[in-house]
Chains A and B, each alone.
Chain A
Amino acid sequence: DIQLTQSPSTLSASVGDRVIITCRASQSINIWLAWFQQKPGKAPKLLMYKASSLESGVPSRFSGSGSGTEFTLTISSLQPDDFATYYCQQYSSYEWTFGQGTKVEIK
């Protein structure tokens, strides 16, 4: 199955910072990558799909890019509501997989 590796695992940042999270796939997944945000005790929330398509209702400070094996999620100006754990997820193969997660903490 396709492995996804996120970096960093933990990120400390301040409100207003630009934050970039990277997701690398063990083989090409074209653009079939999604990003999710999860807060403690809550279900994940879809942010991006097809690598760079913003899900309806998600603030425009979130953006995604990449194709093939390397992808990024960028938060242009971190807001208090953005402190959470972020997961990438590939849906290129029949066996879907998630990255291990990146926790964005308050600096």
Chain B
Amino acid sequence: QVQLVQSGPDLKRPGASVKVSCEASGFTFTEYYMHWVRQAPGQGLEWMGWINLNTGDTNYAQRFQGRVTMTRDTSLSTAYMDLRRLRSDDTAIYYCARKYVEGGYSLDYWGQGNLVTVSS
């Protein structure tokens, strides 16, 4: 069965970086994009960007340009999201979610989420 398993919670200081991982199983990794979406406590969903798991091409939301990097390791079927220069308002649950490369589908499977807390 399809699974996206994310790394555990993180506590970071302001100005630090965090790298969240998302290990995929149960499907052909390179036939999908991996998107990252975050949700601040009590708030709505915020789209951060995607990576093409085959080519490695990326597309980031403008507000995260220069601070985020999405990568993948096809040998480990794992996608990563690296967010730098963390601020307190980056405190959120970070989700990975897959999208099939073809057709008009959206995000059909999601990871369980990873709480990143930014605090001094």
In the assembled complex, which residues on chain B have CB atoms less than 8 Å from the CB atom of A32?
Answer: 104
- How many residue pairs between the two chains, A and B, have CB atoms under 8 Å in the bound complex? 57
Chain A interface helix/strand/loop/mixed: loop
Interface residues on B, range: 20 to 34
Q: Is A44 a contact partner of B104 (Cβ separation < 8 A)? A: no
Contact for B106 among A91, A95, A97, A100, CB less than 8 A: A91
Contact for B108 among A38, A55, A94, A100, CB less than 8 A: A55
Q: State whether the Cβ of A46 lies closer than 8 Å to any Cβ in chain B.
A: yes
Q: Is A46 a contact partner of B61 (Cβ separation < 8 A)? A: no
Task: Kindly state the separation between the CA atoms of A1 and B65 in the bound complex, as whole angstroms.
Answer: 14
| Nearest-neighbor residue (CB-CB) of B6 within chain A | A43
| Nearest-neighbor residue (CB-CB) of B46 within chain A | A98
Interface residues on A, range: 20 to 34
> What residues make up the interface of B, taking CB atoms closer than 8 Å to A?
35, 37, 44-47, 59, 61-62, 95, 97, 104-108, 110-113
> What residues make up the interface of A, taking CB atoms closer than 8 Å to B?
1, 31-32, 34, 36, 38, 43-46, 49-50, 53, 55, 87, 89, 91, 94-101
